[in-house]
Amino acid sequence: MNFASSLTDVPHPGEFIREELDARGWSQRDLAYILGVHEQAVNLITSGKRGISPDMAKSLGKALDVSAEYFANLQKAFEMSNAREPDPAIEKRALLQSSYPVREMIKRGWLADTDIGLLEAQMLRFFGKNSLSDVPYMAHAARKTTDYATTTPEQLAWLFRVRQIASEMVVASYSENKLRDFVAGMPRLMADPEEARHVPRLLAECGIRFAVVETLPKANIDGVCFWLDEKSPTIGMTIRYDRIDNFWFVLRHECEHVLNRDGQGRLEDQKVDDLDGENGGVGEGLPDPERKANKAAAETCVPQDQLESFYIRKFPFISEKDMLGFARRIQRHPGIVVGQLQRKMDRYDWLTKHKVKIRHHVVASAITDGWGVPANVSL
């Protein structure tokens, strides 16, 4: 009886050696003599108790006039056939990780580190779907009819985390008039960085859910505007650039989206805002809603006619004293003025010391997720 047949369809290489010895009329002792090893070493191989090492494969090849690779392949085939079947969870975890930054989501507390069955259930709950095949970007069943080219998996995961947080927030009923009043009064908050702490409360009074969620690696997100329903606008921000000018520009940009009722429809079809470089300008290559939001943001940060007048009079010799005087006159923090002038001059190293940090003022009063502390929401 084949000593390996009860375990596998692939016989142990020792069986071939036994058959070869029988054909040649050699004993195991003869082969041991030829190989220059103890007879027990040959017996262990022919009885299937020991495998063939690379060194032994070469020796057997010379002794039996067969290629060493033949013995090596026999051993490999036998070992593979006897290897345990891998845990099915491996393939499922690979599928999830290839579609979304699952490990980072677990690290951030968005998902709990559980067995694969519960992890899949958490993913469905996170994205609000009944089947993994309905989750955007899932590698095994990405829907052909949906174009996700402008929103990456990392951005989409961040977007759904903002929704998860926003859905548990309680705010006043949305009032467009109150939001317009807030926007009109925004400049009064722009002179002192500490005034940013009032933003979450003032937005809530307007009926806007506001959350700060740290961006994910490679996500390139500044903010987003979307609606949980037609009466529930939401603004999410990352404050990935912890600077006073960036914070107010992005916030005003998203408020303009709300006022224009942008960002409605399915969440997976929304586009997050990356306002770096030209994306924060008014070039013809940008969609109309983005140009309009950027224009409103720039105007609120620094009135553009006054900025242009100052620039024409002072450029190219704009001193720090000139900038500080202009900031006092328009009642804006110098860092906000510097941010606008840097863009205009294309000199992002100019007077950067004035672009103070602001995130700590905002997160002190905002629902915040990230920087080592997850938001207290249901998984």
Q: 45 and 77 share a domain? A: yes
Per-residue tokens: 141 = 């069943």
Q: In terms of Cα–Cα distance, which of 166, 161, 101, 94 is closest to 126?
A: 161
- Compute how many other C-beta atoms are within 10 angstroms of the C-beta atom of residue 313: 10
Domain span holding position 259: 153-302+356-369
% pLDDT > 90, the chain: 88
Task: Indicate if 72 and 212 belong to the same structural domain.
Answer: no
In DSSP notation, 189-245 reads GSSSGGGGGGHHHHHHHHT-EEEEEPPPTT----EEEEESSTT-EEEEE---S--HH
297 and 200 in a common domain: yes
Res 285 pLDDT > 80:
yes
Between CA 133 and CA 139, with CA 136 as vertex, the angle to 5 degrees is 65
Same domain, 173 and 275: yes
Position 351 in a domain: no
Q: Are residues 32 and 124 in the same domain?
A: no
Q: Give the model's confidence band at 377: pLDDT under 50 very low, under 70 low, under 90 confident, else very high.
A: confident
Q: Is the dihedral of CA 256, 257, 258, 260 positive or negative?
A: positive
> If you average pLDDT over every residue of the chain, what do you get?
92
Q: What is the dihedral of CA 165, 169, 171, 177, to 10 degrees?
A: 10
- pLDDT (tens digit, 9 = 90+) per residue, 140-199? 444 433 444 578 999 999 999 999 999 999 999 999 999 999 999 999 999 999 999 999
Residue 183 lies in a domain: yes
Q: State how far the Cα of 340 lies from the Cα of 315, in Å rounded to an integer.
A: 14
pLDDT digits (tens, 9 = 90+) for 185-209: 999 999 999 999 999 999 999 999 9
Q: Is 143 part of a structural domain of the chain?
A: no
Which 3-state string (H, E, C) describes 276-306?
Answer: CHHHHCCCCCCCHHHHHHHHHHHHHHCCHHH
Instruction: Determine which helix (DSSP H) or strand (DSSP E) holds 369, and give its type and residue range.
Output: strand 367-369
**In angstroms, rounded to a whole number, what is the distance separating the alpha carbons of residues 304 and 282?**
13
Six token digits for residue 278? 């030209």
Q: What is the pLDDT of residues 342-355, one digit of tens each?
A: 999 999 999 999 99
Long-range pairs, 166-169, Cβ under 8 A, ≥24:
166/209, 166/211, 166/228, 166/232, 166/234, 166/236, 167/228, 168/377, 168/378, 169/204, 169/209, 169/211, 169/367
| 254 shares a domain with 199 | yes
Pair type for strands 367-369 and 233-237: unpaired
Same structural domain, 24 and 68: yes
Task: Find out whether 135 and 180 touch, Cβ atoms under 8 Å.
Answer: no
Indicate whether 33 belongs to any domain: yes
Residue 145 has a pLDDT of: 39
Give the residue among 246, 258, 276, 252 at the shortest CA–CA distance from 206. Answer: 258
Residue 138 pLDDT grade (very low, low, confident, very high; cuts 50, 70, 90): confident
How far apart CA 335 and CA 266 sit, in angstroms, is 37
pLDDT score, position 83: 87
Tell me, yes or no, whether 200 and 266 share the same domain.
yes
Pair (44, 178) in one structural domain:
no
pLDDT, tens digit (0-9, with 9 covering 90-100), for 237-252: 999 999 999 999 999 9
Q: 127 and 210: one domain?
A: no
Mean pLDDT of 69-74: 94
Dihedral sign from CA coordinates of 222, 210, 246, 105: negative
Q: How far apart are CA 17 and CA 41, in angstroms?
A: 13
232 in a structural domain = yes
> Is residue 45 assigned to a domain?
yes
- 78 in the same domain as 195: no
Helix (H, G, I), strand (E, B), or coil: what is residue 264? Answer: coil
Q: What pTM does this model have?
A: 0.84
Please tell me the total count of domains within the chain: 3
Selection from 157, 280, 266, 269 nearest residue 219 by Cα: 157
pLDDT tops 90 at residue 86? no
Looking at the domain assignment, is residue 349 inside a domain?
no
Q: Is the distance from CB of 82 to CB of 7 less than 8 angstroms?
A: yes
Q: At 59, which CATH number?
A: 1.10.260.40
Do 197 and 261 have their domain in common? yes
DSSP 12: P
How many whole angstroms separate alpha carbon 235 and alpha carbon 257? 9
The pLDDT value recorded for residue 50 is: 95
313 is a domain residue: no
